[in-house]
Amino acid sequence: MDSRYRILVVEDDDDAASYMRTVLERSGMDPSVVSNPQAALALLASTTFDLLLTDIELPGMSGLELTQRVKATRPDLPIIVMTAHATLDYAVNALRLQADEFLFKPIRKPQLVEVVTRLVEQARVSARPSNVVLAIGAHPDDVEIGVGGTLAAHQAAGDQIVILTMSRGARGGA
């Protein structure tokens, strides 16, 4: 998997779009910037992104409507909604539509980088398939005593652990 985060930015203000692109690029990310929601939907249909960063007030469709449409088809894609017009209604609606974060403009570089990094990493961890580890022992406690440390490491990595004991614990394995 590519370690560079692919970010789709939907921003109709040229200065804000340029700022977002510059901040994300200088942080080692790969931003694609579009100025309207229709272009964003077309790009989302053809390209895989790690995160969507959208303004609320956009031409033709609001960022909240865009969030709702994207979450209907890509519920796993983290979405950050941002606005320069901080109202409680915007924030509540964004969170109701399952936006992962709501930011007020102007967004400082450290805040933008931290939020994007955190959301992409969380999404990547939750998308990572876990392994199923099957540990087989002849008697009760064989597995735990013999490979307890290994099982603990698998547990810490998020793997599912299944232990199969081949006897009921009676002497002689009967």
pLDDT tens for the 174 residues of the chain, in order: 457 999 999 999 999 999 999 999 999 999 999 999 999 999 999 999 999 999 999 999 999 999 999 999 999 999 999 988 777 777 777 777 788 998 989 999 999 999 999 999 999 888 766 788 899 988 888 888 889 899 998 888 878 888 988 886 666 555
The domain made up of 6-127 is a member of CATH 3.40.50.720: no
Helix (H, G, I), strand (E, B) or coil at 32: strand
Residue ranges of the chain assigned to CATH 3.40.50.2300: 6-127
Q: Order across the sheet with 51-55: list the strands.
A: 30-34, 6-10, 51-55, 79-83, 101-104
CA atoms of 122 and 127, how far apart (whole Å)? 9
pTM as predicted: 0.71
